[in-house]
Amino acid sequence: MLANGKVEALMAVIEKIAGALKDYQDHFRLNNKALGLFGLARRIHNAETEEDLRAAVAELTAPVPRPTPPLPADGVEFELTLTVEEAAKEAIHWFGEHWEYRGARIKKAETKRVKLIRLGHVNDLDEAQEKAKAQDCRLVVGQWRAAFEKAFPRHDNSGPIAFGGESWLQNSDHPHVFPTLLEGLDNVWLHGEHPTLMMFGGCGDEWRWLAENE
């Protein structure tokens, strides 16, 4: 009975993986979605009791929670506040012996009017900044990632978020480095401990960039 249940559940996971392969063209989004599903398949395969299997199947069939609060639409301005503590927390993760900090440190709480914009395909960070300037915008620096994730803890499957302001990290080996929020399983952001590198063809149309008016 347990074996039959495993087969049925694993087939359902395979269908979801096939859907992920079809729906997600960008490799960041695909990897995050597929890795979560493969982890769930492993749980089903290793289930030792009917109760373990039911728990895994319940996770598979559970409705995806909607983002709360919803993310602002592209081009709509909203207010975001960054505390000194949040800025310092980001700095701990991103400053390392191979990185150079290029801009002024944030020493007091700041509030900005910001918005999400789309730049189309960009090959590197310089091109992203030029395209933002053409929209009379300036890309927001990486420390604001912490404030954005705090304000909007779940994504909406509408594209990853990039924080490409020029006063972030750069060295000769990785000249186009910036923090991001990538889309994980079940609408949870997945950003990890390392910067995203602008390479392998750059960023595609699905990317959103946090910006402020110049």
Q: How far apart are CA 104 and CA 173, in angstroms?
A: 22
In 3D, which of 105, 109, 184 has the Cα closest to residue 149?
184
pLDDT in tens, the chain (214 residues): 556 666 676 667 666 665 555 444 444 444 555 656 666 677 777 778 888 777 777 766 666 566 668 899 999 999 999 998 887 766 555 555 555 556 667 788 999 999 999 999 998 888 899 999 999 999 998 888 889 999 998 888 888 899 888 655 555 555 567 778 887 766 778 755 555 655 556 788 889 999 999 9
Prior bond of 67 cis (ω within 30°): no
Q: How far apart are CA 15 and CA 11, in angstroms?
A: 6
Structure tokens, 189: 């952001």
- Cut 0.85: pTM above it: no
Contacts of 20 (CB under 8 A, 6+ apart): 30, 33, 34, 37
* Runs of H (alpha helix) within the chain: 2-23, 27-46, 50-61, 84-94, 125-134, 144-151
Backbone torsions φ then ψ of 163, nearest 5 degrees: -120, 90
Domain boundaries, the chain: 2-61, 78-213
Between helix 144-151 and helix 84-94 the angle, nearest 10°, is 120
Contacts of 163 (CB under 8 A, 6+ apart): 139, 140, 141, 142, 144, 145, 148, 178, 179, 180, 209, 210
Structure tokens, 136: 């009379």
